[in-house]
Structure 1
Amino acid sequence: MSPDTIILLENKFYISANSSYADDRTKILNQTDTFGIFDRWGDIKQLGEEVQGIYHQGTRFISDLEFKVNNMRPLLLSSAVKEENELLSVDLTNPVILFVEKDNKLSIPKGEIYIGRSKFLRDGFCYETITLTNYGADKYEFQASLKFQADFKDIFEVRGIRREKRGEIFELKHTANNEIIIRYKGLDKIVRTTIITLNAKPHDWENQTTAIFHIKLKPHQSFIIQYAIKFIVGEKDYHHVMSFDKAQNQLMGDIDRYRNLFAYITTSNEQFTHWINRSLMDLKSLLAQTKFGVYPYAGVPWYNTAFGRDGIITALETLWIAPDIARDTLLFLAHNQAKVENAYQDAEPGKILHETRGGELVECNEIPFKQYYGSVDSTPLFIVLCGAYYKRTADLEFISEMWPYIEKALMWIDKYGDSDDDGFAEYSHKSVNGLFNQGWKDSHDSISHEDGELANPPIALCEVQGYIYDAKIKAAELAYALDKDKLGEKLHNEATALKKAFNERFWDEEMGWFVLALDGEKKPCKVKSSNAGHALFSGIADKDKAERLAANLLADKMFSGWGIRTLAADEKRYNPMSYHNGSVWPHDVAIIASGFSKYGFQQETMKLTGALFDASIFIDLQRLPELFCGFARRKGEGPTAYPVACSPQAWAVGAVFMLLEACLHMEINALEKKIVFKRPIVPEFLHNIIIENIKLGNKRASFELHKYKHDAGITVKEKPSDWEIYIIK
């Protein structure tokens, strides 16, 4: 296995270009460290790229799951994942079933037996109930079978990494307790176990892993098969297996506990409200419970784990409606901050996590992602989130707790981020198996010059300089709040100097653009990319340059009609079907829209909000995916799907909240106990917006915004007595 192979996979977020579970029209469930990719029948079959399965902590614990009647696959009626993303519901019926009874050839006509399947994941288990009901007029006899297999492949193996050697399955048996037990011992010496427990004893077994039931059903009689699958890593005690109903009730309780994290938003436009609600439910499904609270896992299926950059941006997108997510995210990242230099992990003291993974390959150190630090922007963004959280909540006690981690992050920026002391932060990967590019566009070909030649490291990205500027401005404010005035002044002066240097070195007057990056020889990458829009989000851009950039970002070469492309259509490496060189990413668009709003470009903010709203209407479930292709908008057609985009993806579903905040130009300032709308523009497709249950300290507020012909008004329904809510027109 060559390093180049891994780097290529890494830079494609471990997705090979021809991998496409989307073409198989799969259904996906996820819950914390477990996710399942099923076909529309509710089965798991290894077709095409062979990615279906139930995965737990980075390993595929179920690789084959098939339900049959008389050894035939049932006919599909419908299947769907429910609105809360908690349950896969499948409706099936029987094909024609031929059988012999007393030398007579008989048959069960098609469509006489209804088969309902319901399954969900919770706490390291998969639960399913299968109900078979006879809706015919005669008594019927037939067989039903359930087949289970486990290959215990690491998720990186499933996604393309080839290994010369792997562990072995050393036990496969069924027990007198209606169990199938499959055990695998990896090269990491860890035993991983799949235990399938059936609610009733099968009438027969086939090859130890197929349970067979002989079923006799009178008219309108039902037969129920239930099972639970437990996934165990290491020699742990087996957890008690709950009934399907009890486990489902507990799952719904888990979901209910997340409801109070969020404010509630309704609008006069049902489709826009549905987009908001869909995004909320998707976000809730991605919240994983850690010992530090909830953390938004990056996305399903392949990023069902904690990513630093993704978690921070999701927390920023949702800060105004769910500040507790930001708090818990900061706690998790602070306690996973790098302490020592480790080239294999791209780790340096003070650096914030890029990602964490489980599985055999990371335990064997075949890949470095158990705790991997290969991102140049997670560290400044961590400080940005700390500052934004403080302004939103005025929780100085928490900031005092975070301050040692903030100081270490600032130290990393100055000592390790700016490795050549030129005033700008650069990156170059040290891990032979790590990410080559370490900004948010981390595919291997995402940073190039105007002639298409790839940039050589160390690379100073334009958006990263903005993040560092914002981080130092916010760190200065936190220092002042903690009575560290001298440090606060120093940080503010450093930020001011960085802004001046950035606008001099990164601005290209001819292009009317901030260049994408400076390469290892300090040559500017004169490429028109969406990265420059992040300079508006951070506030590092001079006002005159911001105005010109905003106009250029919305020109036809960049604006597809659905959003801003990652790369302009006239650039050498432009490809609307690429991962980072011409596609549209909802979170990227939302960040740029937020930047437009900060500079007072409200009509431009509205244009991006309307574009993504229009895109959502064409997309299944109104769920914005990780990305979609950058083809120009065509009348009567939706955006072109990117086939391996994760969906839901946390920072994509979080985009709607940042967009709404940007349109309303809303600022929640807990330090001054006020919510201010500065010249808000209510989108033309909305007449009113109701925001309820918004958290203000230990109390809540609710209000309604109304659209008038030329401005907006507000009706306050509820608020703490010492808070003010008003509009500046």
Structure 2
Amino acid sequence: MEPDPPVEDQWYVTATSTKSEEPSRVLKQGDTFGVFDRHGDIFQAGPNGEGELTQHGLYHEGTRFLSHWELRVNGQRPILLSSTIKQDNSLLVVDMTTPDLYRGGHLLIPKSSIHIFRSVVLWEQARYEHLRFVNYGEQPVDLIIELLFAADYRDIFEVRGVHRSRRGTLLPATVGEDFVVLGYEGLDRKTRRTKICFDWRPQSLDGTRMASTLRLASRESRHLHLSLYCITGEENPRRCDYYQAMASVGSAMAALDAQVAKVFTSNEEFNDWLQHSGADLDMLITQTPEGPYPYAGVPWYSTPFGRDGIITALQTLWIRPGLAKGVLAYLAKQQADHYDPAQDAEPGKILHETRSGEMAALGEIPFSRYYGTVDATPLFIMLAGCYYRRTGDVAFIETIWPNIERALEWIDRYGDSDGDGFVEYSRHSANGLVQQGWKDSTDSVFHADGSLAQGPIALCEVQGYVYMAKRLAAELADMQGFKEQAQRLLREAETLKRRFNEAFWVESLGTYALALDGDKRPCQVRTSNAGHALFTGIADPDRAERVVEALVGKESFTGWGVRTVAESEARYNPMSYHNGTVWPHDNAILAAGMARYGFKYEAMILLDGLFESSIFLELRRLPELFCGFPRLPGQGPTLYPVACSPQAWASGAVFQLIQACLGVTFAPEKPQIRFSHPRLPRYIEWMRIEDLRFGDQTIDLMLRRHANDVAINVERKEGDIEVAIVV
């Protein structure tokens, strides 16, 4: 049978050459983020922001509040010398100079005479900018400083490529002596404004341009400061200056840093990967009323996602448990309490994503509060159980226990709608997601001949999540004295494990099927999904080795990581979003599963691949995904054109990989930190873990690699905490 033709996916992120020609610079703080070019400017493809849209802009709550921002000196764009994001992601720093500047055919200012320093910081829905001009020439100069600007107020989904038949109205600019306000009246009846403030009085200012003349003597320098505020409705954002914004960002980052254990190694390149990954997580974390929450990624997913937030919290639970508590509290608050097919919502179901832009408010997209995910609900229970194992925080578990029970009820009543013991999904919303697992492209679930599976669909990995969720929920029930409920959950989990291994195992492939379709036919396709059965423990031990062999075999492993779909399969495409690419978070989960079944060597193969790929990437930043082409000598991984970077669960991957190789677990009843068959890769001689917290207790550990094992020494301990090693 021939594969089905490509299926239109209305939420597909379009890719064009202009979106990926030049590396971008990304800043994020709270609900505001910016994507700039290396100069710190914002450009669209056409003149004055018209024509083809790019992802560049300053965004707040899902809307682009600044679509054009361009610095010119004497009518020319400065020459870039260097551009970098500070290691903690707090600041964009750019060094530039001027080209040869002429007037009337005569050289007025020779190139490299003027140094231009630019720095940008985001704080509380505003961009603060510092410009410094220094004249290193021997003659005084007159510099005409221009800033060109525009705001198109496009929803992030418009920028992604979704067409709108109608838009709101751009408002006339309001111009003062040292400020200008741009505005937009949306179809949602919300007014959005961008207020641009200057700390000097420009000589010329209107709704698209600011111009000022600076006269600089030889060796003289001048400093200019400006700010841009994103304002919705009647908001009156708190104004501060550049230096106050810098101080506030620093204080917020220090507070985050104090809650996280630190990991250092003998390998400086590995340390760079660790430090940049941690900094990316810090940047993506947003403080909600319920606590910290990692937004999924910039630019397309800078908002709370249930699945992404949970997996990121699981990845980093061993070093930053406070993040898991924030994720659980937020998702408990957002848990569905009624049936709403337009939002794919059912009582007890955990959120997929929430959006606050104009299109979400109008219902043009279903994601204002959308529940079209089959896995977030069991993952929520998993995270709650793992959080208790990590912290022993009985009081918090008791506060969310009603949410856990409602999630369990959703699994049995709505998740398993046909009563066959497996959790399936099908779309109820007219324009929601067709596929509702983590591989949510429309063409991601298919049979061996390439034909698309028809629902309701029971995914391989979801059955594992449900199995682990019920086992962990049983522990939580038992801890609270609900013995009968605990025993029932354990029986249900064991029944599911037996039936899963009967229904999903494909002997001819030596692995588990991707899914069961609506007729209970297995999708006999080699995918990375099978590795999630190892992660959750639902796989039979006598089948684990064959699953591992399939994952690290040449059809699936590229040298950088495991592909989502093996190259032998009908819909394999190394450039497809979910059908052949390599996802760092997926590989971290696979490594954790391999380690769980004792395959530490194979787990370290995946660690090696991702570490070595990070060496080729700017800022050591693993993107959301990269292409699944085989690794070639001397070449890095092939980038996917519209991948989010940074992405929360890609940033969290390194921490889950370390935990898998070290076998780190926690026993709250002792309390005890356990290392099961710890291993370190060949390029790390030692690893130091500082400020590893267990409640009020803290410990520092030094791990040293030997020929056949790892030695662990306690260097500092505050409190009665044990360290146990299983070899």
Equivalent pair of 1:299/1:648 in contact (CA under 8 Å)? yes
Please give the secondary structure, in 1, of the residue aligned with 2:411.
Answer: helix
CA distance 1:720–1:214, change in 2 (3 Å) = closer
Residue-by-residue CA offset, 1:656-682 (whole Å, 9 max, x unaligned): 111111111111222221111122112
Matched, 1:408 2:409: no
How far 1:70 sits from its partner (Å)? 1.4
Equivalence for 2:198 = 198
Please list, as runs of the form range in 1=range in 2, the aligned pairs for 1:65-80 lying within 5 A after superposition. Answer: 65-80=69-84
Structure 1 stretch displaced more, 554-563 or 104-113: 104-113
Matched, 1:600 2:601: no
Equivalence for 1:621 = 619
Equivalent pair of 1:308/1:353 in contact (CA under 8 Å)? yes
Structure 1 stretch displaced more, 301-310 or 673-682: 673-682
Matched, 1:506 2:507: no
Q: How far apart are the structure 1 equivalents of 2:152 and 2:135?
A: 36
Equivalence for 1:373 = 371
Q: How far apart are the structure 1 equivalents of 2:670 and 2:525?
A: 42
Equivalent pair of 1:147/1:210 in contact (CA under 8 Å)? yes
Please give the secondary structure, in 1, of the residue aligned with 2:71.
Answer: strand
Q: What percentage of residue pairs aligned between the two structures are identical? A: 48
Equivalence for 2:129 = 128
User: How many residues get paired?
Assistant: 717
Equivalence for 1:172 = 173
Equivalence for 2:554 = 556
Please list, as runs of the form range in 1=range in 2, the aligned pairs for 1:349-360 lying within 5 A after superposition. Answer: 349-360=347-358
Structure 1 stretch displaced more, 380-389 or 77-86: 77-86
Equivalence for 1:217 = 216
Please list, as runs of the form range in 1=range in 2, the aligned pairs for 1:482-497 lying within 5 A after superposition. Answer: 482-497=480-495
Equivalence for 1:427 = 425
How far 1:642 sits from its partner (Å)? 1.0
Equivalent pair of 2:261/2:692 in contact (CA under 8 Å)? yes
Equivalent pair of 2:124/2:237 in contact (CA under 8 Å)? no
Equivalence for 2:234 = 235
Q: How far apart are the structure 2 equivalents of 1:105 and 1:502?
A: 80
Equivalent pair of 1:258/1:284 in contact (CA under 8 Å)? yes
Structure 1 stretch displaced more, 479-488 or 674-683: 674-683
Q: Provide the aligned C-alpha RMSD in A.
A: 1.5
Equivalent AA in structure 1 for residue 371 of structure 2:
Y
Equivalent AA in structure 1 for residue 705 of structure 2:
K
Equivalence for 1:116 = 117
Off by >3 Å, runs of 4+ in structure 1? 4-7, 17-20
Equivalent pair of 2:63/2:156 in contact (CA under 8 Å)? yes
Equivalence for 1:259 = 257
How far 1:309 sits from its partner (Å)? 0.3
Equivalent pair of 1:55/1:61 in contact (CA under 8 Å)? yes
TM-score where L is the length of structure 1: 0.96
Equivalence for 2:360 = 362
Please give the secondary structure, in 2, of the residue aligned with 1:8.
Answer: coil
Matched, 1:630 2:615: no
Equivalence for 1:515 = 513
Matched, 1:159 2:160: yes
Q: How far apart are the structure 1 equivalents of 2:704 and 2:416?
A: 48
Please give the secondary structure, in 2, of the residue aligned with 1:695.
Answer: strand
Residue-by-residue CA offset, 1:36-80 (whole Å, 9 max, x unaligned): 111122111102543211111011101111111112111111211
Please list, as runs of the form range in 1=range in 2, the aligned pairs for 1:287-366 lying within 5 A after superposition. Answer: 287-366=285-364
Equivalence for 1:61 = 65
Equivalent AA in structure 2 for residue 181 of structure 1:
V
How far 1:5 sits from its partner (Å)? 13
Equivalence for 1:573 = 571
Please give the secondary structure, in 2, of the residue aligned with 1:625.
Answer: coil
Please give the secondary structure, in 2, of the residue aligned with 1:258.
Answer: helix
Q: How far apart are the structure 1 equivalents of 2:133 and 2:80?
A: 14
Residue-by-residue CA offset, 1:671-718 (whole Å, 9 max, x unaligned): 221111122112111111110101111121111111111212111012
Please give the secondary structure, in 2, of the residue aligned with 1:523.
Answer: coil
Q: How far apart are the structure 2 equivalents of 1:89 and 1:573?
A: 44
Equivalent pair of 2:96/2:116 in contact (CA under 8 Å)? yes
Equivalent pair of 2:696/2:719 in contact (CA under 8 Å)? no
Equivalent pair of 1:6/1:161 in contact (CA under 8 Å)? no
Equivalent pair of 1:557/1:568 in contact (CA under 8 Å)? yes
Equivalent pair of 2:182/2:207 in contact (CA under 8 Å)? no
Equivalence for 2:108 = 107
Q: How far apart are the structure 1 equivalents of 2:207 and 2:270?
A: 51
Please give the secondary structure, in 1, of the residue aligned with 2:334.
Answer: coil
How far 1:726 sits from its partner (Å)? 2.5
CA distance 1:137–1:596, change in 2 (3 Å) = same
How far 1:628 sits from its partner (Å)? 0.8
CA distance 1:507–1:582, change in 2 (3 Å) = same
Please give the secondary structure, in 2, of the residue aligned with 1:400.
Answer: helix
How far 1:240 sits from its partner (Å)? 3.8
Equivalent AA in structure 2 for residue 558 of structure 1:
S
Q: How far apart are the structure 1 equivalents of 2:468 and 2:230?
A: 43
Please give the secondary structure, in 2, of the residue aligned with 1:23.
Answer: coil
How far 1:22 sits from its partner (Å)? 2.5
Q: How far apart are the structure 2 equivalents of 1:25 and 1:677?
A: 40
Please give the secondary structure, in 1, of the residue aligned with 2:281.
Answer: helix
Equivalent pair of 2:277/2:651 in contact (CA under 8 Å)? yes
Q: How far apart are the structure 2 equivalents of 1:583 and 1:105?
A: 55
Residue-by-residue CA offset, 1:145-177 (whole Å, 9 max, x unaligned): 11221111111111111111111022312113x
Residue-by-residue CA offset, 1:354-391 (whole Å, 9 max, x unaligned): 01111110111111111111110000000000000001
How far 1:99 sits from its partner (Å)? 2.9
Please give the secondary structure, in 1, of the residue aligned with 2:229.
Answer: strand
Equivalent pair of 1:714/1:726 in contact (CA under 8 Å)? no
CA distance 1:106–1:559, change in 2 (3 Å) = closer
Equivalent pair of 2:160/2:300 in contact (CA under 8 Å)? no
Please give the secondary structure, in 1, of the residue aligned with 2:21.
Answer: helix
Q: How far apart are the structure 2 equivalents of 1:239 and 1:448?
A: 50
Q: How far apart are the structure 2 equivalents of 1:483 and 1:648?
A: 43
Equivalent AA in structure 1 for residue 188 of structure 2:
D
Equivalent pair of 1:32/1:304 in contact (CA under 8 Å)? no
Equivalence for 2:101 = 97
How far 1:105 sits from its partner (Å)? 4.8
Residue-by-residue CA offset, 1:56-109 (whole Å, 9 max, x unaligned): 101110111111111211111121111111111111111222236xxx955111
Equivalent AA in structure 2 for residue 226 of structure 1:
H
Equivalence for 1:705 = 703
How far 1:9 sits from its partner (Å)? 3.6
Mark the runs of 5 or more structure 1 residues left unpaired by the alignment: none
How far 1:583 sits from its partner (Å)? 0.5
Q: How far apart are the structure 1 equivalents of 2:311 and 2:67?
A: 34
Please give the secondary structure, in 1, of the residue aligned with 2:247.
Answer: helix
How far 1:19 sits from its partner (Å)? 6.8
Please give the secondary structure, in 2, of the residue aligned with 1:594.
Answer: helix
How far 1:722 sits from its partner (Å)? 2.3
Please give the secondary structure, in 2, of the residue aligned with 1:283.
Answer: helix
Equivalence for 1:83 = 87
Equivalent pair of 1:6/1:433 in contact (CA under 8 Å)? no
Please list, as runs of the form range in 1=range in 2, the aligned pairs for 1:441-520 lying within 5 A after superposition. Answer: 441-520=439-518
How far 1:587 sits from its partner (Å)? 0.5
Equivalent AA in structure 2 for residue 208 of structure 1:
G
Equivalent AA in structure 1 for residue 42 of structure 2:
I
How far 1:596 sits from its partner (Å)? 0.7
Q: How far apart are the structure 1 equivalents of 2:610 and 2:157?
A: 32
Structure 1 stretch displaced more, 239-248 or 476-485: 239-248
Equivalent pair of 2:98/2:113 in contact (CA under 8 Å)? yes
Please give the secondary structure, in 2, of the residue aligned with 1:672.
Answer: coil
Equivalent pair of 1:346/1:434 in contact (CA under 8 Å)? yes
Please give the secondary structure, in 1, of the residue aligned with 2:547.
Answer: helix
Structure 1 stretch displaced more, 48-57 or 291-300: 48-57
Please list, as runs of the form range in 1=range in 2, the aligned pairs for 1:180-195 lying within 5 A after superposition. Answer: 180-195=180-195
Equivalent AA in structure 1 for residue 220 of structure 2:
Q
Equivalent AA in structure 2 for residue 78 of structure 1:
S
Equivalent pair of 1:7/1:436 in contact (CA under 8 Å)? no
